């Protein structure tokens, strides 16, 4: 049977200070205190989660006999009405009410009266905000996972189309060995796959419910925390009430994963900037992701890539900032933690926009295959192939082959010739046993075809891996 609380003689909420907590205070806060304390401009993004949490809490209170069915019904209908206002953009936000929790509760009371005052039974803003924040971040990570998959699919499609497109591979940004453009694209697919794994791990660990931990010690009311956890899609309630309200490692873990993700996007962005420059001209970004100059009419600036690169500072900075906020805080809740949401919101927004921009750039990217091929043949990129040939054909120790190849490269450089154009007699002057078969390994195409080891750049490897990724990602999308 529901425990009914008498409403007779109940006074209106205090107005001298904040109406939700001002009973202890004789005067109101200073202007500076009000400004530093208010968070509604930031945390109003949590309104859907706040209403969802309140719905679950009210239903549980009714099931536990703490709240009457009539009050629970009134609260549910009132929350629906408040949600409609928030969705329509007509909700009257008030800075005086500080945050989204108090704004929603005050608006609920305006709509349904006294029953609204019972909603906060057996909970605190401490467990309420922790619950809302976890719900919001869980949904944000799901959305980011989808955006990551879309970028991976764009890269895999480009890789399959260019499985045999030869380009120079670089170390120290110096020509190293020929690779294929498809192989290069798949390197980022692998990196982004690990990013998805880190975000999935963070999501799994945050998916526990703080609701019912109250301020820090739990509550004396006979609540059912498992029921509210289940209603909100959490795996379980958090096991310790102190930890439930004071933990922000779930946000830190997500930010750490996002910082790594953004660093990967930044590396790809940097390569697009370099590759689209006139000295390289390997790729061309579409008009949709380029800008011009106000003074130089010939310019095509890769601004989208540059801005993705720049947003790494925001994301990594958010992680460092929240880590600094949390590093010296005693248990349980401190108002310092109010800074968490602005940092996470900014990082998630930056990562989401970066993923969308990068997926668009990759999908529209035009590759100059001839330019890449010419660059792949320059800089003696097949020198390692020559050394490997000497090992295989002449049973020469690799260190000796390395030395012989270096002398041959020096001869080619002296004559301003590519290795494949160097006369056989010049090579034989360095190593007499070299036969004409050596020319089979010196072209860029021959070089990449020979790299058949698992994970190597051979076109057959690349085509197979690209197809596998496209199939896998398509199946995920179709679920």
Q: Name the residues annotated as catalytic.
A: 172, 293
- Indicate if the alpha-carbon torsion angle 134, 139, 143, 145 is positive or negative: positive
Exposed, middle or buried, 6 (CB in 10 Å: 0-12/13-18/19+)?
Answer: exposed
The total of other beta-carbon atoms located within 10 Å of residue 64's CB is: 16
Provide the angle, in degrees to the nearest 10, between the axes of the packed helices 47-63 and 125-161. Answer: 130
Element (H, E) at 211: none
Tokens of residue 115, six digits: 């029953």
Calculate the alpha carbon distances from 254 to 67, 198, 439, 474 in Å: 37, 8, 52, 26
The total of other beta-carbon atoms located within 10 Å of residue 435's CB is: 12
Identify the three-state secondary structure at position 397.
Answer: coil
Calculate the alpha carbon distances from 240 to 214, 217, 231 in Å: 11, 9, 20
Tokens of residue 258, six digits: 């996002």
Range 19-41 burial, b when 16+ CB lie within 10 A, else e: bbebeeeeeebeeeeeeeebbbe
Q: How far apart are CA 429 and CA 88, in angstroms?
A: 83
- Residue 203 contacts by C-beta under 8 Å, 6 or more apart in sequence? 138, 141, 142
């Amino acid at each position: 049977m529901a425990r009914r609380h008498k409403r007779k003689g109940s006074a209106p909420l205090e107005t001298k200070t904040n109406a939700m907590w001002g009973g202890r205070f004789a005067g109101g806060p200073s202007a500076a205190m009000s400004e530093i304390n208010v968070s509604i401009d930031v945390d109003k993004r949590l309104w859907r989660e706040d209403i969802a949490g309140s719905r679950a809490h009210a239903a549980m209170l009714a099931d536990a006999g703490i709240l009457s069915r009539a009050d629970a019904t009134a609260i549910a209908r009132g929350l629906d009405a408040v949600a409609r206002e928030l969705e329509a953009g007509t909700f009257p936000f008030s800075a005086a009410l500080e945050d989204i929790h108090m704004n929603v509760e005050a608006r609920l009371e305006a709509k349904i009266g006294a029953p609204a005052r019972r909603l906060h039974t057996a909970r605190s803003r401490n467990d309420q905000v922790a619950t809302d924040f976890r719900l919001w971040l869980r949904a944000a990570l799901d959305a980011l996972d989808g955006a990551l998959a879309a970028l991976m699919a764009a890269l895999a499609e480009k890789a399959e189309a260019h499985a045999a497109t030869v380009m120079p591979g670089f170390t120290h940004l110096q020509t190293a060995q020929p690779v294929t453009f498809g192989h290069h694209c798949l390197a980022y697919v692998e990196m982004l796959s690990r990013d998805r794994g880190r975000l999935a791990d963070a999501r799994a660990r945050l998916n526990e419910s703080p609701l019912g931990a109250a301020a820090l010690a739990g509550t004396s009311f006979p609540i059912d925390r498992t029921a509210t956890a289940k209603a909100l899609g959490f795996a379980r309630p958090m096991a310790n009430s102190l930890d439930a309200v004071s933990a922000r490692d779930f946000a830190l873990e997500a930010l750490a994963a996002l910082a790594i993700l953004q660093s990967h996007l930044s590396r790809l962005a940097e390569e697009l900037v370099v590759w689209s420059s006139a000295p390289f001209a390997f790729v061309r970004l579409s008009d949709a992701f380029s800008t011009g100059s106000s003074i130089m009419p010939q310019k095509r600036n890769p601004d989208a890539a540059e801005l993705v690169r720049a947003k790494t500072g925001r994301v990594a900075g958010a992680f460092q900032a929240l880590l600094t906020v949390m590093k010296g805080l005693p248990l349980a809740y401190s108002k310092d933690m109010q800074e968490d949401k602005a940092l996470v919101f900014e990082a998630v927004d930056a990562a989401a926009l970066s993923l969308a921009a990068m997926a668009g750039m990759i999908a529209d990217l035009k590759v100059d295959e001839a330019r890449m091929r010419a660059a792949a043949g320059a800089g003696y990129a097949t020198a390692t192939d020559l050394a490997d040939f000497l090992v295989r054909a002449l049973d020469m120790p690799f260190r000796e082959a390395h030395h012989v190849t270096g002398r041959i490269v020096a001869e080619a450089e002296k004559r301003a010739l590519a290795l494949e154009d160097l006369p056989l007699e010049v090579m034989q002057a360095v190593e007499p046993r070299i036969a004409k078969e050596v020319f089979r390994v010196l072209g860029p195409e021959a070089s990449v075809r020979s790299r058949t080891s698992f994970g190597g750049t051979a076109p057959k490897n690349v085509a197979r891996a690209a197809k596998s990724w496209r199939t896998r990602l398509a199946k995920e999308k179709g679920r």
